[in-house]
Structure formats: C-alpha cells, structure tokens
Amino acid sequence: MATIIDGKKISLEVKAELKEKVDKLKEKNVMPCLAVILAGNNPASQIYVKNKITSCEEVGIKSLAFTFGEDVSEKQLIELIETLNADKTVDGILVQLPLPKGINEEAVCSHISDSKDVDGFSPYNVGGLVLGRDSFESCTPKGCMRLIKSTGIDICGKRAVVVGRSNIVGKPMAMMLLKENATVTICHSKTENLAEITKEADILIAAVGKAKMIKADMVKNGAVVIDVGMNRTNDGLCGDVDFENVKDVAAFITPVPGGVGPMTIAMLMSNTIKSAEKRL
C-alpha cells in the first residue's frame, strides 16, 4: 500500500516558509505584489483566481485583481499589462486563462515582462530552464518536484518517465528532473508500447488529461507516482492515474484532488517572492 503524498499539508509547509521570507522583505520595506488579470465569465477561472488571492493573503503578499467582462478587447489587456510592467511595486503578473473568444492568448501573454512572468511560461524563462539558468520555473512542475523530494527518494540516477509533452507541464517537468540527474523519458500520444516504458519508471509523472489512463499493470512496484491530471467525470474529480488500483503497487502516490493542485498555487507564491527579492 502506497504512502499518500499530501499536497495540502506540504503546500502549508511551503506557505509557512514563504511567510517568513515575506516578513523579512517587509522589514526592508519591500511588499511583494502579485497582479492577477481575469477576463470573461468562466466559473472555473473565477474560482482559481479567488484561490490565488486567498493564498496571497495567507502568505502576506499584496494582490491586485483586475476583472473584465467578455467584451474586453485585446488592446485593453495589453495596455494594462504594459502599465503593470512599468510599475516597480508589482513583482508578478498573471493572466488567468482561458481568455474570451477572439483574443489571442499568446499575443496578450507575450507582453508580460520576463522579470514578472511568475507563471514561468515565457520563452525567456523556459529557455532559462533548459540552459540551467536562474529563471522562473513553471509552477506545476516546480510543485511536483517538491512533492517528489518530500518522499526522501534520491532523484539522482533514477529512471523518470513523464507521460505528456505540454509546454506547461510535460516539457518543463522533464527538464527539472534532468537537472536533478534523473534519466528522463517523455511519452505522448504517439508513443508505442507505453506500458512497457512506464513500468520501468522509478518516478512516474502523469500529465495527459485522460481519466485513469495509468493502470496498475503500467506501474513499477515501489515507484513514486505523481498525478497531475484533473478530470471531471460522472463520479466526480479524478486524475490520470487509476488511484485505487495503482496505490497497491506504488510506494508513494499523489491523490486527486489534494495532491499537485495546492502545490501549483504555492509555487506561484514562491515565484512572486523570488521576484520581490530582486528589488533588494
């Protein structure tokens, strides 16, 4: 029976560490600040933004919320971003996706200054990760790394398999594991003999968006399994991993919900504070 990796508990530990950093910054008259832009009426986006603002309050970060309706223009959003870029008291800028129809998300987000891209999505920050430079790391894979390390496993030399090749999770996840000297394989929809590859993984990360795709017979005995998936089904939320069966094979496993999700927001706070520290 696997040990459950409690993302809620670990995220609280991270937030406690971050609060100490915020207190030290405030002693030096630096107030970390995150600006969040929400456009449209997507209910899920509204919940995500609310959770991010709540986390800011818990850690002591100042939050600025800018909300627009479905009729907002691309020009309005870009002008706001440019204003926030120029504001030296704003350390991070986040545009909550998806944006309303007709707006080019990439065009809007590309205007966020690399130094305030606390989501870690810009080509500059992604390139910095690949080159091993001190850049902002994407929040979800950064949170996954913290969860993996919480198990006490030595990542160095381990076989890691990432199922999913998205720019937001899969690719940066692979780079972070490689940085820790794991031997990394990325699998995707075109991968042949997927189960044979995943079964070799000491560390298995599932990030494909397919409910319960990873079955018990695809997992190595004693593996660390990190489930990034968040799928809505008739039975409620579930991950990309068949949790009930895989937990009997793995040594460590994250639940859905309560695993990776809370860590993503915690790492957003971490990146915002990292940006604020550069003001010293």
pLDDT in tens, 20-51: 999 999 999 999 999 999 999 999 899 999 99
C-alpha distances out from residue 53 to 49, 59, 61, 65, Å: 6, 10, 9, 8
Candidates 21, 96, 240, 247; catalytic one: 96
Q: pLDDT tens digits for 169-193?
A: 999 999 999 999 999 999 999 999 9
Domains located in the chain, CATH noted: 29-114 (3.40.50.10860), 139-262 (3.40.50.720)
Say what the pTM is.
0.95
Q: Is the peptide bond before 172 cis (omega within 30 degrees of 0)?
A: no
Judge whether 134 counts as a catalytic residue. Answer: no
Q: Which of 119, 227, 240, 242 is catalytic?
A: 119
Return the pLDDT at 31.
Answer: 98
Q: Is 96 a catalytic residue?
A: yes
CA distance 267 to 165: 20
Which listed residue (15, 21, 52, 116) is catalytic? 52
Instruction: Specify the DSSP class assigned to residue 99.
Output: P
Residue range 13-20: average pLDDT?
A: 98
- Tell me if residue 76 is catalytic: no
For the segment 54-66, what is each residue's pLDDT rounded down to a tens digit? 999 999 999 999 9
**Position 235 pLDDT exceeds 90:** no
